[in-house]
């Protein structure tokens, strides 16, 4: 029997998941939490096989939960349910085993759990379609690797980006201008909006 912990700050979501999972004799929900720090502590005690994780929590981000959990546990399967496609990519980069959107049927998650995946990354059909669209858009804009890197940090100042990437501030300014031209925008805010909604880039403060 697979032991499962659920972390989501919406009672409706946790109740729905618990109800669906209870229909499977091979699953046992051993804990439900709405705060990330509580989950990190509980994992050390309960040692579940699977963590079902939300990404927007009242204390710390679900992405940070995944990052910390993965540092101490390489084998646990972490499945993300989120309403934000940009956060989904960040969660996978942090070490999530799979991801789906909240407006999809729980059947999608059950299918992934039943398959007992041990390697690779699972994406729900809807999220996979979003990722395909984002990757195609990225290629269509013909951004260079350097421009993509700068784009992912546009929420910072040019000086901060320059220090982070070990570039001159003037070089960062020129790269940003090239990004605006390729995206067909005039401001930093417009570029960030496209990056978030179309390219699914998650901006970390």
Q: pLDDT digits over 44-69, tens only?
A: 889 999 999 999 999 999 999 999 99
Q: For the segment 91-108, what is each residue's pLDDT rounded down to a tens digit?
A: 999 999 999 998 888 788
Q: For the segment 150-191, what is each residue's pLDDT rounded down to a tens digit?
A: 999 999 999 999 999 999 999 999 999 999 999 999 999 999
Q: Are 29 and 18 in contact (CB under 8 A)?
A: yes
Q: What is the pLDDT of residue 40?
A: 93
Name the band, by pLDDT with cuts 50, 70 and 90, for residue 110. Answer: confident
Residue 146's domain comprises: 142-197
Mean pLDDT computed over 119-133: 87
Mean pLDDT computed over 78-92: 90
- 70 and 29 in a common domain: yes
- 188 and 88 in a common domain: no
Q: What is the pLDDT of residue 178?
A: 96
Residue 119 in this model has a pLDDT that exceeds 70? no
CATH number at residue 190: 1.10.10.10
Q: For the segment 1-55, what is each residue's pLDDT rounded down to a tens digit?
A: 889 999 998 888 888 888 888 888 889 999 999 999 999 999 988 999 999 999 9
Residue 67 lies in a domain: yes
- 110 and 74 in a common domain: yes
More confident residue, 84 or 153: 153
Q: Give how many domains the chain has, as a whole number.
A: 2
Q: Which residues contact 125 (CB under 8 A, 6 or more apart)?
A: 104, 108
Q: Which residue spans within the chain are E strands per DSSP?
A: 2-7, 27-33, 50-53, 77-82, 98-101, 122-123
- 């942090």: which residue's tokens? 94
| Cα angle value 60/156/138 (rounded, 5°) | 90
Residue 84 lies in a domain: yes
- 151 and 120 in a common domain: no
Between CA 154 and CA 81 the distance in angstroms is 27
Q: What is the pLDDT of residue 116?
A: 62
DSSP state of 129: H
CATH number at residue 13: 3.40.50.2300
């Amino acid at each position: 029997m697979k032991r499962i912990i659920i972390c989501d700050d919406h009672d409706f979501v946790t109740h729905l998941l618990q109800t669906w999972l209870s229909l499977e004799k091979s699953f046992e929900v051993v804990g439900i939490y709405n705060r990330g720090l509580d989950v990190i502590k509980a994992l050390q005690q309960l040692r579940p096989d699977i963590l079902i994780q939300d990404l927007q929590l009242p204390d710390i981000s679900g992405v940070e939960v995944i990052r910390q959990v993965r540092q101490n546990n390489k084998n646990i399967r972490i499945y993300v349910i989120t309403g934000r496609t940009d956060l989904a990519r960040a969660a996978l980069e942090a070490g999530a085993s799979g991801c789906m959107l909240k407006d999809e049927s729980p059947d999608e998650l059950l299918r992934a759990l039943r398959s007992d995946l041990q390697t690779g990354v699972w994406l729900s059909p809807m999220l996979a379609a979003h990722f395909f669209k984002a990757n195609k858009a990225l290629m269509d804009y013909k951004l260079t690797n350097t421009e993509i890197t700068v784009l992912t940090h546009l929420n910072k100042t040019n000086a901060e980006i320059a220090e982070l990437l070990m570039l001159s501030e003037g070089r960062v300014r020129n790269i940003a201008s090239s990004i605006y031209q390729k995206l067909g925008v005039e401001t930093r805010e417009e570029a960030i909006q496209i990056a978030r909604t179309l390219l699914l880039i998650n901006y970390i403060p």
